[in-house]
Structure 1
Amino acid sequence: MAIRDDKRVRAAAVQMASGPNLAGNLAEVERLIGQAAEQGAELVGLPENFALMGRREADKLDVAESDGEGPIQDLLAKLASRHRIHLVAGTLPLRSENPGKVRAACLLYGPDGRRLGRYDKVHLFDVGVSPTEAYRESDTLEPGSRAVVVETELGRIGLAVCYDVRFPEQFREMARQGMEILVLPSAFTAVTGAAHWRTLVTARAIENLCFTVAPDQGGRHASGRETYGDSLIVDPWGSVLASRAKGAGVVVADLDLHRQAEIRRRFPALTHRKF
């Protein structure tokens, strides 16, 4: 695939507070992607669970789609084509071979509306974040098993999701595959977000010398869950280029891949690995 010569990409992270109404969430997706496109974004990332944050984890089973077909996927392809953008849509529930579970799939669409890649969330959030707040994603999700980096005309885009950020070995594998831009759709809880979000996102950018676009859910949801927000775009040196604290909206920043290449040349940490 031909890579553009200018090596500068305008990226946007979309922040949402998705609820249990699929049609309402998709209308919000359409509105916010339009905002990003109006600001010149060529790469747009949606947060984890953008299509549905139900009252129960099992609600996602009711809106699950087969791979490659369904109204959610049709809309994503249409919006990518309409706005001539690369769209990272993460995540939506795609059916698995297990009838009681789905895959949390992060899909990448190109500006012609064709799907360029799919990543299924590998690390599932089975944790207690406080004495009164616990999650078991493995009750409804089937994990993926591989790291994904997709070569595009914008550069090599790596896909990962939320809880994955705590497992640096996944991102080292993605760096080995040549990742230049990491897109990390998330729905970080308010508790873990306040403690760890910026530290983890920034660390993954610094240690892999990659741009990181991290769209997050940010608000209170019908289930009672509160997500942290603070959607970020971070450069390879760890500088936060753009952020949004709470509420629905879009953050936009320019990614200078020429500068990234120069940083990697002068500071070749990725070539110094011993293990």
Structure 2
Amino acid sequence: MIRAALFQMTTGIDPHVNAEAIAAAVTKAREGGAAMLFTPEMSGLLDRDRARARASIRSEQDDVVLAAARDAARRHGVWVHLGSLAIAREDGKWANRAFVIDDAGEIRARYDKIHMFDVNLASGETWRESSAYTPGDAVVTVETPVGRLGLAICYDVRFPALFEALGRARCDVIAIPAAFTVPTGKAHWHLLQRARAVEASAYVLSAAQCGTHDDGRETYGHSLAVDPWGDVLLDMGGEGANVAFVDIDAERIAQVRAQLPSLANRRVIAG
């Protein structure tokens, strides 16, 4: 068994405050015996006012949240999956980028969110992620203490092709950090997380944003851990920032794949 920690956050508009919260969560993860901490999408800054946000979005080298997470990981000997940060690219555009940091504070993997959240919801909410962020184009996996980890971010969960690729890579765990809206969360959050775990015969760990944020938005919360059979092992509810724990059992992955060898039986269907 390997213990993982999930950090459910209500990220605000001040990166320094958010950096302190993440560093404190790393401490709690270590105290709880976790080998790795998972944080939500946009852990460092959540601000729908893009003119205001621009003043806080930095390159990797200058990002205070990334620096704080790396330092905390090194000091406490804990791996950290930063669900994502808003990062300024060299071309002047932004990336919604995840980081996997090892227990020496080194960056082991990066993943730029592939699918942009461009929607008009019946609630009246309108989101155009592509107007500020450049999508990624690479499937990313990395070896970690919890096993081979596949990376996705939030809206990616709705696109099966990415998870087909992660399944082919035989991921043990898939991270789907999120800042789900309340209407879409109520309708689809649990359904999609469980489906992705079953499809890949893998654990799904989904640290999420929750509650009412400084910029006025509301997010759904319910950070989840789902096992390879689709059973929900952890649901952190819709309110309250906190750290919670789940144990990853490699034998459970093997048992499910032996019972229902969907990865081995998979065939490529010509379109």
Mean alpha-carbon deviation: is it higher for 49-58 or for 171-180? 49-58
Deviation digits for residues 16-56 of structure 1 (CA, Å, limit 9, x no counterpart): 11111221111111222222221111121110111111241
> Which of these residues, 19, 22, 32, is aligned with residue 26 of structure 1?
19
Shift of 1:132: 1.7
Partner deviation per Cα, 1:172-203 (whole Å, 9 max, x = no partner)? 10111121111111000011001100000110
Task: In structure 2, give the amino acid aligned to 1:92.
Answer: L
Q: Which moved more, 1:256-265 or 1:181-190?
A: 256-265
1:71 aligns with 2:48: no
Residue 130 of structure 1 aligns to a residue whose secondary structure is coil
Identity of aligned residues (%): 37
**Contact preservation (8 Å) 1:58, 1:140:** no
Contact 1:215 1:231 in 2 (8 A): yes
Structure 1 position 186 matched with structure 2 position 178: yes
For residues 255-270 of structure 1, what are the structure 2 equivalents within 5 Å? 255-270=248-263
Residue in 1 that maps onto 2:225: 233
SS in 2 for 1:122: coil
User: How many correspondences in the alignment?
Assistant: 267
Cα deviation digits, residues 141-183 of structure 1 (max 9, x gap): 0000011111234310111100000001101101111211111
**Counterpart in the other structure of 1:94:** 87
Pick which of 18-27 and 163-172 moved more: 18-27
C-alpha distance in 2 between matches for 1:58 and 1:180? 40
State the Cα deviation string for residues 216-247 of structure 1 (Å, max 9, x = none). Answer: 00011122211000001110001111111121
Q: What residue number does 1:205 align with? A: 197
Task: Confirm or deny that 1:137 pairs with 2:137.
Answer: no
- Other structure's SS at 1:242 match: strand
Q: Report the Cα distance in structure 1 between the residues aligned to 2:156 and 2:234, rounded to whole angstroms.
A: 22
- Residue pairs, 1:74-223, within 5 angstroms: 74-99=67-92, 101-223=93-215
Identify which range, 124-133 or 162-171, moves more after superposition: 124-133
For 1:210 and 1:98, how far apart are their aligned partners in 2? Answer: 36
Q: Which residue of 2 aligns with 1:48?
A: 41
**Deviation of residue 69 (structure 1)?**
4.7
Unmatched tracts of structure 1, length 5 or more: 1-7
CA distance in 2, matches of 1:49, 1:56: 14
Q: 1:69 to 1:222 in 2, by over 3 A?
A: closer
Displacement of 1:97: 4.0
Indicate the larger mover: 187-196 or 239-248.
Answer: 239-248
The answer (yes or no) to whether the contact 2:42–2:85 under 8 Å persists in 1 is yes
CA distance in 2, matches of 1:253, 1:271: 27
Change (3 A) 1:59 1:173: farther
Contact 2:36 2:145 in 1 (8 A): no
Query: 5+ residue gaps in structure 2?
Result: none
Taking the aligned partners of 2:143 and 2:13, their CA distance within structure 1 comes to 34
d(CA) in 1 for partners of 2:53 and 2:147? 32
Change (3 A) 1:153 1:251: closer
CA distance in 1 between partners of 2:255 and 2:52 (Å): 47
Asked whether 1:17 is paired with 2:3, we answer: no
How many Å separate the matches in 1 of 2:81 and 2:219?
20
**Range with greater deviation from structure 2 (264-273 or 102-111):** 264-273
Aligned with residue 272 of structure 1, among 256, 265, 268 = 265
Distance 1:31 1:212, change over 3 A: same
Give the aligned partner of residue 247 of structure 1.
240
Q: Residues 14 and 32 of structure 1 are in contact (CA less than 8 Å); yes or no, is this contact kept in structure 2?
A: yes
In the superposition, the TM-score normalised over structure 2's length comes to 0.94
CA–CA separation in structure 2 for the residues paired with 1:36 and 1:130: 38
Quote the RMSD (CA, aligned, Å).
1.5
